[in-house]
Amino acid sequence: MTAAIEAEGLTKTFGGEFLALNGVGFTVEEGTVLGLLGPNGAGKTTTVRVLTTTLVPDSGWARVNGLDVVKDANKVRSSIGLAGQYAAVDANLTGRENLRMVGQLFQLSRKDASRVADELLEHFNLTEAANRPSKTYSGGMRRRLDIAAALVVRPPVLFLDEPTTGLDPNSRTAVWQVVEDLVANGTTVLLTTQYLEEADRLADNIVVVDRGAVIAEGTPATLKATLGETVLDLGFSDVGAASAASKLFVSSWPAPPVLDGSILELPIDAGPSQVMMALRKLDEAGMAPTSMTLREPSLDDVFLSLTGRRAELGEDN
């Protein structure tokens, strides 16, 4: 396999002090999806901006399709598509005009640009809205137009910066389907996300970033295995009760329990029997939780287990 994206030791400082990137590096094999996972301000967008040539790193290097993103920036630009929160469509232009404009800026003839625009609109189910200014679009439609704009020249490498942030569940599923279609057609995708669920569903590999550095890397399965498949949240009447309950599990539980105020979080990796075991332990000690929830691990859990602290809302660029 050859690498479609390689990055090594990328650093970037903003305003002389805020270290946005602190040695980020990873490799994305051709035809695979990499999920760049992290909270706001972790450096996801900054990484994408370096890889899409709109930001020059202070040090380190990166190659896309074997081309250096600084030295061969213009060649890189010809072979990538970028969609996401910081690369927008023009609100005053119609969907068709937006796509035609991007096509023409890729040096397509007017005729070809129009044809590609119409085909993309149809593919993304936007034909009916094609002649309306894009500011009248719903969030999901705008996101689809945005992704369509990134696909005008069928780039071999596609960057999607938080493609589903702020979308309703239906639109989110629609965007996921688009990405899956593209990957099935051989496109390499790098997508950034704050949702573990999204990375789990779409990505072949996940890179977790925090404070501008990679803190974990692996397939969704390996990452989740280190976390436990599921988390059991047990609510108690107060912090004291929760802390007393946590002592029952500290040494005897396969993965360490986490105390969050009056809520005790227990990683569950062996199915329902383990939930029953937890409840039996509490019952034997004469303790009763006031609430109980079983949920999939969140980004927060990934963070907690990797860094020992909660994902914080950092500066959002």
Pair 108, 116: CB distance under 8 Å:
yes
Contact pattern for other proteins over residues 117 through 156, marking x by CB under 8 A: --xx-xxxx-------x---------------x-x-xx--
User: Of residues 178, 196, 214, 299, which one binds other proteins by CB under 8 A?
Assistant: 178
Alpha-carbon span 205 to 202, nearest angstrom:
9
Q: How far apart are CA 163 and CA 286, in angstroms?
A: 48
Of 89, 129, 242, 266, the one binding other proteins by CB under 8 A: 89
Q: Between 185 and 251, whose beta carbon lies closer to other proteins? A: 185
Q: Is 215 in the site for other proteins (CB under 8 A)?
A: no
Q: What does DSSP say about strands 59-64 and 67-68: parallel, antiparallel, or unpaired?
A: antiparallel
- Considering the complex, what minimum distance in angstroms separates the CB of residue 69 from other proteins? 11
d(CA 157, CA 191): 11
The residue whose two tokens read 């029997």 is: 273
Rg of the chain taking only CA atoms, in angstroms: 23
Per CB under 8 A, does 163 bind other proteins? no
Mention every residue, 6+ apart, whose C-beta is less than 8 A from residue 260.
none
> Among residues 146 and 265, whose Cβ is nearest to other proteins?
146
Shortest distance (Å) from residue 313 CB to other proteins = 21
Please report how the helices 239-249 and 272-284 are oriented relative to each other, as an axis angle in degrees rounded to 10.
110
Choose, by CB under 8 A, the member of 11, 32, 53, 274 that binds other proteins: 53
Tokens of 203: 């990505």
- Residues at the site binding other proteins, with contacts judged by CB under 8 A: 49, 52-55, 74-75, 77-78, 80, 82, 85-93, 97, 101-109, 112-113, 115-116, 119-120, 122-125, 133, 149, 151, 153-154, 174, 177-178, 181-182, 185
